[in-house]
Chain A
Amino acid sequence: MFELPKVKRFRRWETLFIIHPDRVEEKQNILDKLQQIIESKEGKILKLEEWGMRKLAYPIAKRKTGYYVLAEFYGLSALPKDLENFFRIDERVIRYIVVKLDDRYVPEAQAQA
């Protein structure tokens, strides 16, 4: 039978999430897990920005502050599904959003080759 050529499509996203203010010490644990999920889908973190403790516009989980982390990354198209699954289950992350920046992204390693 006719088979479609297997082409790896990469996309670029960014995610902003809020860590529970009482459990900021476990931040490194979450970041490691984030990197692990992204690398499992052949992606890479392009930019990691920590906004630090910020006041929330309204209380979430009975807290008025939260620790904001912003990450920009690329990977295969199935990545946000895994990522959102992790964020939803993890109790340390109280709010998250994943936004698509580019529908097509060519990683630098491939562009050079």
Chain B
Amino acid sequence: MENQVTIQRRFFPKKKICKFCADPNLVIDYKNPEVLKPFLNEKGMILHRRQTGTCAYHQRRLTTAIKRARIMALLPFVADVELE
């Protein structure tokens, strides 16, 4: 009987918190690519908000900022292609 009691879930998914809601000083701006970089994967694709925990409001702003930064060559469109 004791063995049955010890069976429990080993993995508890941690609740993700939106980075921008937690820190109001962090402003989403296309001119500051350093803030946007953690939300891209190694290929330069925008991460899903399921993966980063960003709220819907900030994810919308984030995607427009990333797309603007890409136009201005502050962020790459495709990152894994090495520049000659």
Contact count A vs B, C-beta below 8 Å: 31
CB-CB < 8 A to A70: which residues of B? 31
Residues of A within 8 A of B77 (CB): 57-58
Interface size on B, residues (CB 8 A): 13
Q: How far is the CA of A89 from the CA of B75 in the complex (A)?
A: 25
By DSSP majority rule, is chain A's interface helix, strand, loop, or mixed? strand
* Residues B68 and A95 in contact, CB atoms below 8 Å apart: no
Given known contacts A16-B31, A64-B83, A70-B31, is B68 in contact with A57 (CB within 8 Å)?
no
B31 contacts A18, C-beta separation under 8 Å: no
Q: Are A58 and B73 in contact (CB under 8 A)?
A: yes
- A-side residues, CB < 8 A to B, are 16, 18, 56-60, 64, 66, 68, 70, 95, 97, 99
A-B CB contact pairs (8 Å), 27 listed: A16-B31, A18-B72, A18-B73, A56-B73, A57-B70, A57-B73, A57-B76, A57-B77, A58-B73, A58-B76, A58-B77, A58-B78, A58-B83, A59-B83, A60-B73, A64-B83, A66-B73, A68-B72, A70-B31, A95-B72, A95-B73, A97-B30, A97-B68, A97-B71, A97-B72, A99-B30, A99-B68
